[in-house]
Amino acid sequence: MTVNAGHPVAPLLRVEDVVVEYPRKGLPPMRALAGVGLEVAPGEIVGIVGESGCGKSTLARAVTGLAPAHAGSVTFDGTPVGAVGRRRRAPGLLPLQMVFQDPNASLNPRRTIGAQIQEVVVARERALGARRGRRDPETAREAVEALRRVGLPDGAAEKYPHEFSGGQRQRAAIARALASRPKMIVADEPVSALDASAQAAVANLLRDLSREEGIALAFISHDLAVVGALADRVVVMYLGRVVETGTVEQIFNAPQHPYTQALLAAVPVPDGTGARPRALTGEVPDPGSPPPGCRFHPRCPLAVDRCRTDEPVLQRAGESEVACWIAQARDPATVRSGRSE
Ligand code: ADP
Ligand code: MG
């Protein structure tokens, strides 16, 4: 349960202990998610962050039913999300939409943007049992309205994806997602392929859509600074696991996990002096054969014997939840102020 203004709110998305494995020839399966839990409340913006290869895209795919979960469960608004692929989704999952890093992955290069959005509107109406034809003027009007909503100029409906800039193309992909009337959008690195100015604009668009229309947003990025600028809550992943979760304030002001602290140390300081010294060294190990004990211990400056043998699980530490023996052993008063000794 997420507590909102003192009232518990039933989560819109509930992910419980999800395991996803990819088979590999001659190797143990790639266990990309090794038991991940997550809850997202209606209208909430959750930022999911971690280095490349930690399982963020796999989590997005498991949440939206594109990757089969070997264990655990995902429930969206009361509907179980099975691995049914994109075409045979239950009508109850229509309000759960995904935005990809590369908008070309979801847009058809041979059809106009307007036609593609109209297709989604018609599919939505049919899923609801209504008979709205493609030629219904209301369908075209809705497509134009969706494009306006994402800040694309009039006339965008008649254009093909290649006629847009990268930022505009991502806006068009978001407009297409909006045509399903989503309650939640899972956006996987939606700004990582865009140039710097388009990055902020598209991230702000997603935040504004969430705030103004009450759409929950799972915003995935390898960049903690990007996530910090728009999320209510941050989930930090490492090697197929959640290692820390807390509000943006907690994560930025009092990070508990040494991995979160290292990610934060690499975030540029806004005073213009550039990035702080990068504290994170070493390679990310193979998630298919993770280190014993705490998965982070080979790269952790604080690791003790127990970290090399026993795997910590998420536990409340102060205002956050953290999977770290050192953080969990800290005096709660010290934890709250964020000091480590
Ligand atoms: P992220 O999005 O955080 O970079 P991914 O979820 O894409 O991480 O990948 C997690 C791990 O799973 C990585 O080690 C990646 O190489 C592996 N992986 C991802 N997709 C596949 C696949 N289809 N087959 C085998 N391994 C995969
Ligand atoms: Mg990814």
Mean pLDDT, to the nearest integer, of 115-121? 96
- pLDDT computed for residue 1 by the predictor: 46
Coil, helix or strand for 318?
Answer: coil
DSSP 8-state code for residue 319: T
Range from 63-67, 83-87, 124-128, 200-204 carrying the lowest mean pLDDT: 83-87
Ligand 1 pocket mutation pick from 19, 22, 224 by most atoms within 8 angstroms of CB? 22
Q: How confident is the model at residue 272 (pLDDT cuts 50, 70, 90)?
A: low
Mean pLDDT, to the nearest integer, of 142-153? 96
Q: What is the pLDDT of residues 316-338, one digit of tens each?
A: 987 799 999 999 998 665 545 44
Q: What is the distance between the alpha carbons of residues 75 and 331, in angstroms, rounded to a whole number?
A: 36
Cα–Cα separations (whole angstroms), residue 241 to 79, 83, 197, 263: 24, 20, 32, 16
Q: Which atom of ligand 1 is the closest one to the Cα of 54?
A: 3
DSSP 8-state code for residue 297: G
Q: Does ligand 1 lie within 6 Å of residue 295's CB atom?
A: no
Q: What is the distance between the alpha carbons of residues 274 and 297, in angstroms, rounded to a whole number?
A: 28
- pLDDT computed for residue 338 by the predictor: 46
- pLDDT computed for residue 6 by the predictor: 53
End-to-end CA distance of the chain: 32
Coil, helix or strand for 176?
Answer: helix
Q: How confident is the model at residue 101 (pLDDT cuts 50, 70, 90)?
A: very high
CB 198 within 8 A of CB 191: yes
Q: Does ligand 1 lie within 6 Å of residue 221's CB atom?
A: no
The whole-model pTM stands at 0.92
Higher pLDDT, 9 or 288: 288
Taking 3-state DSSP, the helix, strand and coil percentages for the chain, each rounded to the nearest 5, stand at 35, 25, 45
- pLDDT computed for residue 130 by the predictor: 82
Domain ranges for the chain, please list them. 2-95+184-201+209-269+278-286, 106-181
Is the pLDDT assigned to residue 3 strictly greater than 70? no
- pLDDT computed for residue 30 by the predictor: 93
CB 121 within 8 A of CB 139: yes
Average pLDDT, the chain: 90
Task: Tell me which amino acid residue 300 is.
Answer: C
Tell me how far the alpha carbon of residue 99 lies from the centroid of ligand 2, in angstroms.
12
Q: For every residue of 142-163, which 3-state class applies, written as one string? A: HHHHHHHHCCCCCCHHHCCHHH
Q: What is the distance between the alpha carbons of residues 142 and 133, in angstroms, rounded to a whole number?
A: 13
Instruction: Give the pair of three-digit tokens for residue 83.
Output: 């691995």
Q: What is the distance between the alpha carbons of residues 262 and 266, in angstroms, rounded to a whole number?
A: 7
Is the pLDDT assigned to residue 260 strictly greater than 80? yes
Coil, helix or strand for 293?
Answer: coil
- pLDDT computed for residue 28 by the predictor: 86
Total residue count of the chain as it appears in this document: 341
- pLDDT computed for residue 72 by the predictor: 96
Q: Does ligand 1 lie within 6 Å of residue 97's CB atom?
A: no
- pLDDT computed for residue 133 by the predictor: 76
Mean pLDDT, to the nearest integer, of 50-64? 96
Mean pLDDT, to the nearest integer, of 245-258? 96
Domain 2-95+184-201+209-269+278-286 belongs to what topology?
Rossmann fold (3.40.50)
DSSP 8-state code for residue 58: H
CA-nearest residue for atom 17, ligand 1, is 32
Q: What is the distance between the alpha carbons of residues 199 and 221, in angstroms, rounded to a whole number?
A: 12
Q: How confident is the model at residue 287 (pLDDT cuts 50, 70, 90)?
A: confident
Q: Does ligand 1 lie within 6 Å of residue 255's CB atom?
A: no
Is the pLDDT assigned to residue 264 strictly greater than 60? yes
Q: How confident is the model at residue 225 (pLDDT cuts 50, 70, 90)?
A: very high
